[in-house]
Structure 1
Amino acid sequence: MDALGFLETYLWLLGPMMLRYLILAWAVHGLFWERPRPFSFAKQLAAQRPKREHVWREAKTALAASLIYAFPAAILVDAFEAGGTGLYWRWPEGPLEWLWIPGAILMLMVLHDAYFYWTHRLMHHPRLYEATHRTHHISKQPTAYASFAFSPWEALIASWLIPAIAFVVPMHVAAFGLFIMIATVSAVMNHAGWEIWPRSFLDGPVGRWLITARHHNLHHTRFKRNYGLYFRFWDKAMGTDDMSGDPFVKA
């Protein structure tokens, strides 16, 4: 891998990565906060309308974090072009390979969720918090723009896992791309300050195991609880799943 070729790959990824974040965050934030009338199906979680300077700080921080996120992604892309990863383009052969497309997405979500829970909880340790996670928690009431507003150290911790898995686990490029889309949308929606799912679903047999804005918003407002990313399994297993103060329940 020559340095000039790697730099080209890095810049080729960085632009779309930043645009993906900005467009999605802008769209979600605009849909919920810039409309004259809020959606009837959504519940507002944020106590107050976000200020412009608040949003601008989150956006700048997230764009800076993209400089780090693009680095392992560029390593993965260059290795993929050289045939050195588990990713493949070929048409799936047989029903098992077709089933492995959603299976690979679920596998990535489970592994990412476990890694996120434990690193996230570790970054809340007093000795690590200031250097790693405090930047994200400046947003006591986050917006969609806070979804990737990480310090350099947190971005370094968070950015390498998924590319590393793609190096060793065979999966179709479509599965990998769909997972990235799910992860991005999930992060943006969980920081939006609005819950789009009805309480009947959230309290049902499926919803009670999923992390949505309702669950993650309490992490920002009440702090040392609700550390998970996609699923509430680790929070429930480790006793950190705490819905007290839930805005869906009247005091």
Structure 2
Amino acid sequence: MLDGLLARAARLDLAEVSAGALAANLGLLVVALLGGGLLVRRYGERRRVTPPPPPPDRREVLLAAVAVLLNSAVGVAGWLLWQAGWIRLNGGAGLPALADLLVFTLVMDGLMYGGHWLAHRRRLYRLAHELHHGYPDPRPATLFVLHPLEVLGFGGAWLAVLCVREISAAALLGYIGVNLVFGLLGHLGVEPFPARVRQRAVFRWVALPMFHAGHHADPAVNLGFYTTVWDRLFGTIDPAYDTLRTTERPVLAGGQSMA
């Protein structure tokens, strides 16, 4: 099945790919807004970990629109690199595809941690990343409220990784889904998971929604995205995180008690 889809994608022209990339990225935005909105409405009253954000402003809307356009451009660039043979995809499925997804996600997790650490150095912070932290009380749309340089930097990073090693097209699609889910959950401003789930050993290493929300509350900590591995290794994890993670009603800096 995937081999057939790859063959069809190879026959598309640039206009078709551009339109498809734009439609796909608009779809991701809509899914994030609708899905995130549902979670906030369900858990916002009793599991809010950051203060409720103010109404969106025009700059947020504009930045989200620019992010969608730039992400679409990254997708087109990926297709061009694939056509040129720089990116190699296969139609593998099952365990090999799952292994590809795991390796790709972990590599990106390390690169994103390093990039995020650099983005918080003073000059780079003022150049780009300060814009994202201008919205300390996140909402689902905050996932897309980024400086254009950061959008292109992230897109360039995953294209570079794709150029290094052949992976399954299924793994690539899976990674797009993983990135959307973690990005969305980290910008809800609420913690959907109850304490009995957060206390499980796996969530010592897999980042919970409150992990990235904690970074918005205190930009000096919790620089990772998908895992807590790099923060634990380099000492940038919030010292209170594990206590908060296992507490029935945690309170983040500037937040409020979760009922």
| TM-score bracket relative to the smaller structure | 0.7 to 0.9
SS in 1 for 2:56: helix
Q: CA deviation at 1:157?
A: 1.4
8 Å Cα contact 2:37/2:140 also seen in 1 = no
1:226 is aligned to 222
User: Take 1:148 and 1:239, find their aligned partners in 2: how far apart are those partners?
Assistant: 28
User: Take 2:197 and 2:105, find their aligned partners in 1: how far apart are those partners?
Assistant: 21
2:64 is aligned to 62
Q: CA deviation at 1:59?
A: 3.8
1:115 is aligned to 111
8 Å Cα contact 2:36/2:184 also seen in 1 = no
Match of 2:28 among 15, 20, 23: 20
2:73 is aligned to 71
1:146 is aligned to 142
Match of 2:47 among 36, 39, 43: 43
User: Take 1:242 and 1:61, find their aligned partners in 2: how far apart are those partners?
Assistant: 29
8 Å Cα contact 2:131/2:147 also seen in 1 = yes
1:32 is aligned to 39
8 Å Cα contact 1:28/1:189 also seen in 2 = no
Paired AA for residue 34 in structure 2: A
Gaps in structure 1 of 5+ consecutive residues: none
Q: Which TM-score applies when normalising by structure 1?
A: 0.83
Paired AA for residue 85 in structure 1: I
SS in 2 for 1:227: coil
Q: CA deviation at 1:17?
A: 0.6
8 Å Cα contact 1:190/1:214 also seen in 2 = yes
8 Å Cα contact 1:42/1:196 also seen in 2 = no
1:86 is aligned to 88
- After superposition, the Cα gap between the structure-2 partners of 1:243 and 1:41, relative to the gap in structure 1 and judged at 3 Å, is farther
Match of 2:208 among 197, 212, 219: 212
Paired AA for residue 47 in structure 2: K
8 Å Cα contact 2:32/2:180 also seen in 1 = no
2:56 is aligned to 53
Residues matched between the structures, number: 235
The percent of aligned pairs where both chains have the same amino acid is: 24
User: Take 1:162 and 1:121, find their aligned partners in 2: how far apart are those partners?
Assistant: 17
1:249 is aligned to 250
Counterparts of 1:57-206 in structure 2, within 5 Å, are 57-81=59-83, 84-89=86-91, 92=92, 98-206=94-202
Q: CA deviation at 1:117?
A: 0.5
Paired AA for residue 196 in structure 1: P
RMSD of the alignment, in Å?
2.5
Paired AA for residue 29 in structure 1: G
8 Å Cα contact 1:14/1:66 also seen in 2 = yes
Q: CA deviation at 1:8?
A: 4.8
SS in 2 for 1:195: coil
User: Take 2:127 and 2:188, find their aligned partners in 1: how far apart are those partners?
Assistant: 25
Q: CA deviation at 1:102?
A: 0.8
User: Take 2:123 and 2:86, find their aligned partners in 1: how far apart are those partners?
Assistant: 38
User: Take 1:61 and 1:149, find their aligned partners in 2: how far apart are those partners?
Assistant: 5
SS in 1 for 2:201: coil
Paired AA for residue 165 in structure 2: V
- After superposition, the Cα gap between the structure-2 partners of 1:82 and 1:122, relative to the gap in structure 1 and judged at 3 Å, is closer
8 Å Cα contact 2:143/2:183 also seen in 1 = yes
- After superposition, the Cα gap between the structure-2 partners of 1:131 and 1:11, relative to the gap in structure 1 and judged at 3 Å, is farther
User: Take 1:158 and 1:58, find their aligned partners in 2: how far apart are those partners?
Assistant: 19
Q: CA deviation at 1:196?
A: 1.5
Q: Which TM-score applies when normalising by structure 2?
A: 0.81
Q: CA deviation at 1:243?
A: 4.8
8 Å Cα contact 1:61/1:149 also seen in 2 = yes
User: Take 1:39 and 1:238, find their aligned partners in 2: how far apart are those partners?
Assistant: 32
